[in-house]
Structure 1
């Protein structure tokens, strides 16, 4: 396979790290973003000619455009842009601070939007490319205690699905990646809990998420390396799949959620038509 060049946000851990390791190992070039340079010192030392790093907080809009521009200038062409940076915020919404709510949306949703906005002029100029958006089965189904996380993922899925239609005539394709639970640092490392726990929610379903950081919980079913390989392999599929479901738990949760929504919709067919002129 010919060498490809990838831009990936958040490569210090999780799927970003797994993707980068696999790609560099096979000889692809990676422009990766990190919060601090020393987060991936080992990769820098092993692949000095293949790995370019940009320090980036995706909530800094100006920095997003600057880093994306520098990455394209560094490599000349980038074949695949991967929106990976993100995290989960858990708890009932009134238990969250305003700052926590803003940070979740600014990172997972607005950060992804601005990376795409910054990359599109370059992808258009080079005549095409592919965008991979890391979402979750939580972008199509919901669990209690994850309202803001779901808001960010449902939002980014709507954005990417619509954008895919906008850019298809330009030779740019989009895939929304929807993994299930995986054995990354998502749950025990990056996940944040609502700061203001309220007794009113102690016996509610939302309270279950208060244990999400507990290392004693059973591990998630997904193998992060297998998931990363499947994401990489999807780039070779033409036409690009709009959605890539990874994990039996993701399939089950999404199937149940979509089935329930379709059933509820079909029950309103006659009622919906009564408001036509």
Structure 2
């Protein structure tokens, strides 16, 4: 293994970005531990990886499994350099209509899942005073659209966790990057998504239409998962990686529009906000 090679830990290795990234890493000089929800998937990945990596069974909603997967990855690879919080899914539907059980499931996978991984890997990274954490959030962690309010809530939360974590671990030599993709040709809007049908008539022009658009676009999105994987690979080998990386033209455009609009709005209300303090 070359001096610039990395050891990776990736959650959600069966589909989407996780699968594309794990596949790429097996072609490079890096090594990878990828997690899967089913034993057969993990065994097949281990067979393909040979001495280049290992497949591990891990559901991110199961804390003991997360801890065991991280421990097994460290034992197998020797150490970890890059940790990718990739496992997640999209819950789509109006905020009023998604039930409590689905809201809790969405946050358990998209927020508490990454937190479990972080708590398991951070002692190892802190001891080494090095490492890079990639949180796969979403452009939906920066900007909101109708019909994805619960999903946005989970991804906005992960964005905040990543930003705060960067201030905590940066002085220790550990980098954090929030990856913010727009639409990519993964299963995100297809079988991986959870759709709550729009029954409230008032929401059909907004939520209902957006859900229909998401379903019809599945498989035809502009984003290329293999190109995204290559970008993440290159990013992990940079000495000073960014905190934020929107992926895809729509993500870059949406991020730019969000912060332009936010600054314009701030200019309008700044005097009102400033007036809330005690007089100097």
TM-score normalised by structure 1 residue count: 0.94
Which residue pairs with 1:124 in the alignment?
A: 126
Contact 2:177 2:242 in 1 (8 A): yes
* Residues 1:162 and 2:164 aligned together: yes
Kindly state the Cα deviation for residue 215 of structure 1 after the two structures are TM-superposed: 5.2
Which residue pairs with 1:203 in the alignment?
A: 204
Question: What number of residue pairs does the alignment pair up?
Answer: 276
- Cα deviations across residues 37-63 of structure 1 (Å, max 9, x unaligned)? 323655433222122122111111232
RMSD of aligned Cα (Å): 1.8
Contact 1:187 1:212 in 2 (8 A): no
Question: Structure 1: where are the runs of 5+ without partners?
Answer: none
Kindly state the Cα deviation for residue 174 of structure 1 after the two structures are TM-superposed: 0.5
Contact 2:166 2:176 in 1 (8 A): yes
Contact 2:185 2:218 in 1 (8 A): no
Which residue pairs with 1:83 in the alignment?
A: 85
Kindly state the Cα deviation for residue 198 of structure 1 after the two structures are TM-superposed: 1.8
* Residues 1:31 and 2:33 aligned together: yes
> Once structures 1 and 2 are overlaid, which stretch shifts more, 55-64 or 197-206?
197-206
Q: 1:30 to 1:246 in 2, by over 3 A?
A: same
Contact 1:188 1:215 in 2 (8 A): no
Contact 1:134 1:177 in 2 (8 A): yes
Q: 1:216 to 1:187 in 2, by over 3 A?
A: closer
Q: Partner of 2:55: helix, strand, or coil?
A: strand
Which residue pairs with 1:227 in the alignment?
A: 228
* Mapping 1:46-195, distance limit 5 Å: 46-194=48-196
Kindly state the Cα deviation for residue 230 of structure 1 after the two structures are TM-superposed: 0.6
Kindly state the Cα deviation for residue 251 of structure 1 after the two structures are TM-superposed: 0.9
Q: In 2, distance between residues paired with 1:250 and 1:183?
A: 14
- Cα deviations across residues 75-134 of structure 1 (Å, max 9, x unaligned)? 221110000000100010222121110010111111111211111000011221110110
- Cα deviations across residues 216-246 of structure 1 (Å, max 9, x unaligned)? 7671101110111011111122212111121
Q: In 2, distance between residues paired with 1:24 and 1:51?
A: 8
